[in-house]
Structure 1
Amino acid sequence: MTRWMEISGANERTDEMEPIGVIDIGSNSVRLVIYEGAVRSPTPVFNEKVLCGLGRSVATTGSLGIEAVERALSALARFSVIARILGVKNLRAIATAAVRDAQNGDEFIARGEAALGVDIEVLSGQKEALLAAQGIMMGFVDADGIVGDLGGGSLEIIDLDHDKLCEAVTLPLGGLRLIDATSNKIDRATDIIDGAISALPWLSRGEGGTFYAVGGTWRSLAKMHMDSINYPLRVMQGYKLSLRETLDFCEQFRKAKKPLDLPNISGVARARREVLPFGAIVLERLLRRMQPKQIVFSVFGIREGLIYGLLPPHERQRDPLISFCEDYAALRARSISHAWELCRWTDLLFADPALEETADERRLRHAACLLSDVGWRAHPDYRGEQSVNTIAHAGLGGVDHQGRIFLALSVFHRHEASEDSTAQLSDRLRSLVSKRVQRRAKILGSAIRAAHMLSIGMSGIIDQTPLSYENDSLVLTIPRVYADLDGERVRRRFGALANMLGKKLEIRISD
């Protein structure tokens, strides 16, 4: 058994995947992320960053600082050893604006490659923008809007039209660069930012649409906003704000006498705090120019974009949410075949016009079916509660926060039937979704709960026990070979499901 298989506990699916590592040498941080493999929904198994500040003085001196270089080289040497310990055979390293623009960038690359033992690709501005766009494609379905990726040295802005790259530009508006160029005077940054973005007439295409915010500084702003409203989820991916909410929050940094004393900033890493005011003003000026309807924060960026670029076309076309759920079920559920059977079996249940669903609601239902048995190893009294926490905070792509909550509630109801049990859920969590979402989750969870009384979590049973509707009845048909599965608990669970739908239950034994 290889060292990687020992660590991952991998099954047949992950045995076939060679782990891939990406080292991102940015203007502010140097980070190593190791993924299980180059797949549509890559799962990080190791993630470490060091805030080196390589780009801190490039704007004024033209060079990478000596201390920053030594910190970065030390981090790269450590990352090389970590990659070797974890059995990473596919290690990629990229460097962005600070190294690209510095006079001593070539010298740093030579020393960095010696420390790592692999080549380092210095990205052009256009290549960096392309990878940022591909990162959004990796994390969202049919991405459509303007993407902004703010780093320490530069800002990449990309126009995406349903996963099609239309325009892209790199601007010298990174947080560290602005600190350097303005001598850390935030009031001097406005003219610099406005002057840079005024030359982009195509930004007007973002009006009324979606702005995807990428980069550690903007994620820190999102975290501060979450803390300020006591938001029940702690997931950056897909966190959504309106234009007004975002502008009001960003303005606090510009108007505050001491921005670094603002409430909730203590939750941000100390080395990241100094760039927050500049990141906020870049976001504010950009949004005022664009006037998008909503701002969506993304944890998927150039590292995930690099992985996306390695995927074959058929893998890129896969749904990132379904891909993740299928992989997770293969690792954690008793039977992935049974999970797919639940998708088909509940198709019959939701064929009722009263349960009409959109295409997105259908994919969410299928995702919930795939995840429905991942908590089976937990103690029976806590399966519902643990499922909520696990699924709501999972590393999902291709889903917004309302979708996350639907998945979590569906699997909760798969384990918990009584009304009293819902009191265990956070009222704030349920308050984030509509009554329609809550009802659909309860119906789906009840259906899966009932199905397990027939299948016992194994495949090959429920495909033979279809549901149908006749007049005011929900009909469950059981083949005679499984007739003895019919019993009090089966009738109680299916009766509860029928009652939820306003139907009577009828069970038929067929030849």
Structure 2
Amino acid sequence: MASSNLVDGLFGTEVTAYSFPRIACPGSHSKGSRPGDTIGMGGTMSRGEGDGMHRWGVIDIGSSAVKAALFEVDGDSPPRFLHESDPVATGLGRGLTPGGPLDAEAVARSLDALTAFDGEIRERGGRLRVVLATEALRLARDRERFLEAAKGRVEGRVSVVCIDAAMEARYAFQSAHVAFPDLAPGSLIVDPGGSSLDLCRSPTGRVEDLRSLSLPFGMNHLMAVAPPERADGRLNAHDLARLRATSEEALRPLTRWLDEQDGLGSPLVATSGAALAAAGVKRRLASSARVERIPLSQGALVTTEDLERMVEECHDLGAGTRRALHPCLSRSRAPIFVHGTLALGEVLRAADVTSCRVNAFGMKLGALLDAPSHEKSPEI
């Protein structure tokens, strides 16, 4: 295991542990909670488990992958990011229709990933704080069976909750405002997932004034158009045209929603694996040398021009070649890298912005902020 300040990080790269700045942003606490009960946007956390330092893990059971992150919290100090494991591709929401059953093999992959990440968090000296499930579980008719199985995998030690789209947006919002204390009120925060695209903004910068939108558009929809298993992830011109057309159609409600808003902050903040992968590849393309280890790209700026260049240079490469050229890509990300990069570019265009700021910590940080209130979190 690496040292405490240099850990194996996102997409298999080595990263320096990241400390969040202390900030004071109003309106950070959950309904029913008291100031100081959470790691709110002021950077404090419950001491209900005793004073001193804690290492808390959060696991996100997403619609296309399971992800885990580890944070260090010491009393009233701001949280410190320590580690994020390589995502495990599960395809939990792939091919799922509203009210339909989850695929048995995808369920098994997701539960096995949960068990593995729980063990990894403990090996790193941490304790699991909460397990979240999102759109795939919101859609599935056998949601409760899955949640019970997941609770069994963590031996009932923590909450396993299926959060609604509004809460998912809230977590992305809280994460962005903790990570970027200079974020302007009204900035648009987008969280592209496997089966949904969640967006939010607050004209005042307060969570109480948060406005959100969830669209049925994600990586699983794009993989249905151009399956990554075909041709080892290679895409031809026809595939790219179909992906763009699918994205444009799915994003029409976003354009209408933004037209109704009173101003939009720029740049947009993207909280997703696709955005972080794009930031890593941008760093690699800007380097004259072959880079084996790429630092965490928190706060990186990625433009539509960058995204178009990546699609052009990578679409006809197989997944193995993409990883050889760009070691920042994980095995699960490489086959779908172009799918995600193209879709992110289409989101920026639909929002009428030319760049996005990357928030590597995603909704997992936002979920950690609300961890003490998860027993009362809205479940679907």
Q: TM-score, normalised by structure 1?
A: 0.52
Larger Rg: 1
- Report what 1:71 is aligned to: 109
Three-state SS of the structure 2 residue aligned to 1:169 is: strand
- Whether the 8 Å CA contact 2:72–2:80 is kept in 1: the answer is yes
- What is the letter of the counterpart of residue 217 of structure 2? L
Change over 3 Å in CA distance of 1:259–1:163 after alignment to 2? farther
Once the two structures are TM-superposed, the CA of residue 46 in structure 1 deviates from its matched residue by 4.7
Q: CA separation in 2, counterparts of 1:235 and 1:252?
A: 24
Q: CA separation in 1, counterparts of 2:302 and 2:142?
A: 41
2:252 to 198, 214, 217: 198
1:50 to 77, 88, 108: 88
1:19 to 37, 51, 55: 55
- Report what 1:132 is aligned to: 172
Q: CA separation in 1, counterparts of 2:58 and 2:247?
A: 31
- Whether the 8 Å CA contact 1:224–1:264 is kept in 2: the answer is no
Change over 3 Å in CA distance of 1:59–1:17 after alignment to 2? same
Once the two structures are TM-superposed, the CA of residue 274 in structure 1 deviates from its matched residue by 2.4
Say if 2:129 is the partner of 1:91: yes
Q: CA separation in 2, counterparts of 1:195 and 1:58?
A: 20
1:179 to 223, 227, 230: 223
- Report what 1:342 is aligned to: none
- Whether the 8 Å CA contact 1:253–1:259 is kept in 2: the answer is no
Q: Deviations over 1:163-192 (max 9, x none)?
A: 335421111221123212555644323333
Q: CA separation in 1, counterparts of 2:240 and 2:303?
A: 24
- Whether the 8 Å CA contact 1:93–1:121 is kept in 2: the answer is yes
Change over 3 Å in CA distance of 1:47–1:223 after alignment to 2? closer
Three-state SS of the structure 2 residue aligned to 1:296 is: strand
Three-state SS of the structure 2 residue aligned to 1:170 is: strand
Three-state SS of the structure 1 residue aligned to 2:92 is: coil
Once the two structures are TM-superposed, the CA of residue 222 in structure 1 deviates from its matched residue by 1.4
Which stretch shifts more, 113-122 or 100-109? 100-109
Residues paired across the two proteins, number? 299
Structure 2 gaps of 5+ residues are: 1-46, 229-238, 374-380
| Larger proportion of helix | 1
Once the two structures are TM-superposed, the CA of residue 289 in structure 1 deviates from its matched residue by 2.2
Residues 181-260 of structure 1 mapped to structure 2, 5 A cutoff: 183=227, 185-200=239-254, 201-204=256-259, 209-230=266-287, 234-243=295-304, 245-249=305-309, 251-252=311-312, 256-258=315-317, 260=319
Identical residues among aligned pairs (%):
25
Q: CA separation in 1, counterparts of 2:125 and 2:302?
A: 40
Once the two structures are TM-superposed, the CA of residue 259 in structure 1 deviates from its matched residue by 7.2
- Report what 2:198 is aligned to: 156
Q: CA separation in 1, counterparts of 2:177 and 2:243?
A: 31
- Whether the 8 Å CA contact 1:26–1:97 is kept in 2: the answer is yes
Q: CA separation in 2, counterparts of 1:138 and 1:311?
A: 18
Residues 264-303 of structure 1 mapped to structure 2, 5 A cutoff: 264-265=325-326, 267-303=328-364
Which stretch shifts more, 176-185 or 296-305? 176-185
Residues 108-127 of structure 1 mapped to structure 2, 5 A cutoff: 108-118=146-156, 119-127=159-167
- Of structures 1 and 2, the one with the larger relative CO (CA 8 A, separation 6+) is 2
Q: CA separation in 2, counterparts of 1:180 and 1:132?
A: 26
Structure 1 gaps of 5+ residues are: 1-12, 313-511
